[in-house]
Amino acid sequence: MKFKLLFFFSMVGLMLAGCEREQEIELPEATVVVENYDGNAMVQEPGGEVELSVVSQSLAGIKKLEVLANESVIETLETEELFTHRYGYTYRVAKDAQTGDEVRLVFRMEDRRGRAVSSPAVIIRVDEPFRIVDFVRGGHTFRKIYGRINKDLILTKKEKWMVDSIVSVDQGATLTIEPGTTVYFRTFSNNDKLSLLSVMRGGKITAEGTRSEPIVFTSDKTLSGNPARGDWGGVSIHGNAPTNAGKTVLRDGFRYGGTHVSDNSGRLRFVRIEYAGKKQYHALQLFGVGSGTKLEYVQVFECYNNAFRVRGGRVSLKYISGIQHGGYGIWADEGWQGNGQFWLFQTGIKATLIPVNYWNQARSIEFRNDDSFYEKEPRTTFKLSNITLVGNGYDEGTDHGTRRGIRIRTGAQGILHNAIVTQFPSDAVRVEDLPIESLGSSMLIDNMRSYDNFANWEQEAKDYFFKSNRYNLKETPVGGISINNFTGIESVSYNPTAMSGWFTSAPYIGAVDPENDWTAGGSWFRNKDGSFR
């Protein structure tokens, strides 16, 4: 879709530049597509809702969009002279609809040259929105879930559960997963098909494992012994908390954002997400998730794309880790405002520019506000402490790719203490795009060790913070930390509890204290080689 939009607007420029005013321009075909419809019937029960993401395009300008149900117009939307119009349409199934009934929805657009074009029909079938059936694959019997979970559901550890394709948790429903439960995600050889779990705005997930009985989201190929990064999509949670991308944002067919700062989308504790990251998805996506949501002891292992992707919201994260993340460790933007403590990212995967691989210049931490308006509100603002970032190695004269440590940019700002950044073949700590008056106040880095990187500090991290000698920033190694070991700390006087009561007392640099190793014990945390801590 991004390529189509780029081509679309490129055509505008070419035709305006290359045609005389009086000439009749031959315009390309107008289009209407439903982004979140894959051609299969969408199932919903009587009185239920189906949300659709409709995109119409015409270089002549869009005049109106009509919605037809079984060939009858049920809604007409007049528009301004837009080349591209995005429309989030919600269809409510009649309360008296009968099981087996079908509705054919078509979106018909008329442009300002009188051309009419329609989308392919979207089939909505009246039935139970989700089902659980027995399914045999590779000699294993699963309880397979597919569809939209519209009522409370409990997954027990005694069953082998499989998520088939896109499974969502509807508004008002709670998915509860017992400690010790493994949820397998069906893999597909077709690159356009994938499985993922999406908690919709107003839905909840309660997945609270223990150190000895973690909850695991993984590829079904783990049973055959050949799982790989990018086998399935990931887990997405959508909330009602604010973002700066809009009061309500529609992405991949799901809505997020709102005004409820303390919105509660559930709890994740002692959870491991493995082998995710297919297509554009990331292992754990948190979109507009509120501060009432509790996330701690979550490990992402062997993800093709980003381990954690945060768009807006107020959620805070404690005891999180990405081991062998292909893309970024965590990328937060769209006005995320939250806390973080005990973050660990370690990967041996190299990022490169050419060919495009693992999100190019992949970073362990990427914070942005808004790429076009740096001061956009709400603004990405963070408080972080006790971080350890270990890259894929740096040796002078050796190509280890372009992987980076921390980059804070496009107006994001906050306070970062007690961090270790090492073994990155590009820059380790970079701060940019902020006015000088914010440095040292609303933007602060302190009590940090950055060493054995291609460049330990860059831009304001170097010119303002490091060179000033006003902050406890050094390039000396921390004992115990190496490319293959992340346990090691250095004592300092600063205690992160000074930032707020949310933080745990930890007056030391680094994420993992060898004397109190939160990654060790049980069967929830994997090392780079896949062994348990």
Reference 291, options 337, 251, 237; nearest CA is 337
Q: Which amino acid is at 461?
A: A
Strand ranges, E, within 190-336: 196-199, 204-208, 215-219, 235-238, 249-251, 254-256, 266-274, 284-287, 294-303, 308-311, 316-325, 330-333
Which tokens sit at 209? Answer: 């494992």
Q: Which residues pair with 284 in a beta bridge?
A: 235, 308
Is residue 347 predicted with pLDDT exceeding 60?
A: yes
pLDDT band at 129 (very low <50, low <70, confident <90, very high): confident
What pTM was computed for the model? 0.84
Which tokens sit at 457? Answer: 């500090």
Which tokens sit at 196? Answer: 């993922």
Task: Classify residue 265 as left (phi > 0), alpha (psi -120 to 50) or beta.
Answer: alpha
Which DSSP state fits 30? P
Reference 1, options 56, 62, 51; nearest CA is 56
* CB-based contact 243:313 (threshold 8 Å): yes
Q: For the chain, what's the residue count?
A: 533
Residue corresponding to tokens 């959620």 = 315
pLDDT band at 25 (very low <50, low <70, confident <90, very high): low
Q: What is the mean pLDDT of residues 238-262?
A: 93
What residues contact residue 276 under an 8 Å CB cut-off, 6+ apart? 185, 217, 229, 230, 231, 232, 233, 234, 235, 282, 283, 300, 303, 304, 305
Pick 268 or 4 by higher pLDDT.
268
Which tokens sit at 531? Answer: 């062994």
Reference 167, options 178, 180, 181, 183; nearest CA is 183
Which tokens sit at 438? Answer: 């914010």
Cα separation, 167 vs 197, whole angstroms: 5
| pLDDT at res. 353 | 66
Q: How many helices (H) and strands (E) does the chain have?
A: 3, 36
Cα separation, 457 vs 467, whole angstroms: 10
Reference 116, options 233, 29, 39; nearest CA is 29
Interval 409-444: pLDDT, tens: 999 999 999 999 999 999 999 999 999 999 999 999
pLDDT band at 41 (very low <50, low <70, confident <90, very high): confident
